[in-house]
Structure 1
Amino acid sequence: MCVLGLGLIGGSVMRAARSAGREVFGYNRSIDGVEAARFDGFDATDALDEVLTRAALVDALIVLAVPMPALPTMLEHVLRTAPDCALTDVISVKGAVLQAVRSHGLHGRFVGGHPMAGTAHSGWAAGDARLFVGAPWVISVDDDVDPQVWALVMQLALDCGAFVVPARSDEHDAAAAAISHLPHMLAEALAVTAGDVPLAFSLAAGSFRDGTRVAASAPDLVRAMCEANSEQLQVSLDRTIELLTRARDGLAATGSVAELVEAGHAARMRYDSFSRPQILTTTIGAPNWRHELAAEGRAGGVIRSALPVLGSRG
């Protein structure tokens, strides 16, 4: 397996894959990151074409773990040096990645992925082999994904300790806007608002700390993921602004915020009791397998152990 980009997520994938017994090597643009990975005993280089040549020779699964702005350049190198390798990614948007992969003619061997895990820290040193344990890992089931490549990506996610959520790229992006990209925007707004009140930071405790945790993330990384999912994030922002405007108007008119507080509490209780039934009966590569997995994922179904693949032994 070849990981391109050894920051928090890529570095954690590299650690987790090696802990699962996989042979893994990787690339990082920053020599500091490469040297840190090597110091920890990992096979890393800053020579991109060299590592892709090696990936082509051993038919490695290539994992794209670079920020969205760097993706087109990375895909150009993959197309030139290792176009036949199976390809996946761990980038937090799926539609924009799929579009970029298609524009480079690499979609025949590509299956998108997004492990829903992370911290506010970045770089190789922030990585953790157990980052994905018990976390959802979205794997795209778009109309033309290859079943064999899909199975490879599924196994990677399971080896890293995650459970798999199958989803179409457009549906992933709508959900990610609501539960990942919108929280970043709200955290930034909360931090700025509190910063305008002289006593606020002196009094701040758990609620403020938890509500602004992701505002500590590197701004360039936050911008990259939010701007790449601009259309869906605007929908989520519009809905949030609508709710907050109604709460403000209600507070002014009646002195009450009951409507928003009660609706929010009810939604959170639904989340706490949300069940994730295990997907057991779908065979990858069978007729309508993509449609079946997308529907089961939409209903909350997850994959916790490898599904059978049509035509594979055992």
Structure 2
Amino acid sequence: MAATVVCSSSNVEVVCQSVPVTSAKQAPICVLGTGLIGGSLLRAAIAAGYDGWGYNRSAAGAHAARTDGFDVTEDLSAALQRAAETAALIVIAVPMPAVEHMLSAIATFAPHCTLTDVVSVKAPVAAAVRAHGLADRFVGGHPMAGTAESGWAATDPGLFRDAVWAVGVDEGTRADPWRRVVRLALDCGSVVVPVVAAEHDRAVARISHLPHVLAEALATAGAAGGELALGLAAGSFRDGTRVAGTAPDLVRAICEPNSAALLEVLDDTLRVLGAARDSLRAEQSLAELVEAGHDARQRYESARRWEITDVRPGDHNWLEDLRSAGERGGVLTRLD
């Protein structure tokens, strides 16, 4: 039984519900890195009917996965040789600093396998893939899901249900590998947003990486108020600092590879905060910031996706058509 996404659509909205269906057996997957995202992906894919196995650098992490009944090894070469023998889809699920090592091993042991990733930044991964001569079979990916927890113990096969999964449509992307990656995302319960790497990185700098930076700053400001401030802290402080509970090394691995885009949005945000500070000092007013922020939040809450139904992978101009649709809020909920 495979979990897929069945959706109905109108001009402005797509309503999705995950339901169990029977589907043709998919080609296997090999997940490199079985922490929160990679481990959850392995769990979700196997629940959806895939054959799958994984690699984890940590012996303790690999043992924990095996204890739960999943085929995870600390032997990278063995995992990749098995992938090469079975034409598996390889998923890179390690932080950006470890991507080069994974790609070097893939180039050695499984250079002809279809390849994707779930790293939070796309342009640096794509550049590294090209440098290792693996671009022909590569399709970038990024499921927009996660928690502040990490490691195999935090994995959840339902993590991607109804989540957005960004899938690359960069120039040179081939239709067959692209279909495999999209199918995996859909079978894990997600909806797919087609996007090119540079635009993805600029977007996630604003809605993912900046929130990490602001959460760290807010947590620091709260702690600077001493025990009284922390003792009075309630929902707004808790919610605003949630991702500051993420392991510091992981936050750096998420944010620092996207430094150019993050610096740009930090400058924008500092200008907004500076204007609010000046208004508060001169007029004792935060009206402009509060009203703009409220309007922006309302825009987020009222945003509706629409279903892309008229673009077929491999057709003339399909990559550009999908990129344009993704920019305008379009999503893929099925793959014909």
Instruction: Tell me the equivalent position of 2:170.
Output: 142
Q: Is 1:37 the counterpart of 2:60 in the alignment? A: no
Q: Is 1:244 the counterpart of 2:273 in the alignment? A: yes
C-alpha RMSD of the superposition: 0.5
Matches within 5 A, 1:16-31: 16-31=44-59
Instruction: Tell me the equivalent position of 1:207.
Output: 236
Matches within 5 A, 1:1-314: 1-198=29-226, 199-306=228-335, 308=336
Q: How many angstroms does 1:305 deviate by?
A: 1.0
Q: How many angstroms does 1:247 deviate by?
A: 0.1
Q: How many angstroms does 1:236 deviate by?
A: 0.8
Q: Secondary structure at the match of 1:229?
A: helix
Which structure has more strand as a fraction of its residues? 2
Which letter maps to 2:112? Answer: D
Q: How many angstroms does 1:225 deviate by?
A: 1.4
> In 2, Cα distance between the equivalents of 1:74 and 1:153?
18
Which letter maps to 2:139? Answer: V
Q: Secondary structure at the match of 2:194?
A: strand
Q: How many angstroms does 1:285 deviate by?
A: 0.6
TM-score, normalised via structure 1 length: 0.97
Q: Secondary structure at the match of 1:114?
A: strand
TM-score, normalised via structure 2 length: 0.91
Q: How many angstroms does 1:275 deviate by?
A: 1.1
Number of aligned residues:
307
Q: Deviations over 1:89-109 (max 9, x none)?
A: 000000010011111111111
> In 2, Cα distance between the equivalents of 1:305 and 1:14?
21
Structure 1 residues not aligned, in runs of 5+: 309-314
Q: Which runs of 4+ in 1 moved over 6 A?
A: none
Instruction: Tell me the equivalent position of 1:311.
Output: none
The one of the two structures with greater contact order (alpha-carbon pairs below 8 A, sep at least 6) is 2
Q: How many angstroms does 1:184 deviate by?
A: 0.1
Q: How many angstroms does 1:141 deviate by?
A: 0.4
> In 2, Cα distance between the equivalents of 1:218 and 1:151?
34
Q: Deviations over 1:162-215 (max 9, x none)?
A: 000000100000000000000000000000011111221000111000000000
Which letter maps to 1:169? Answer: A
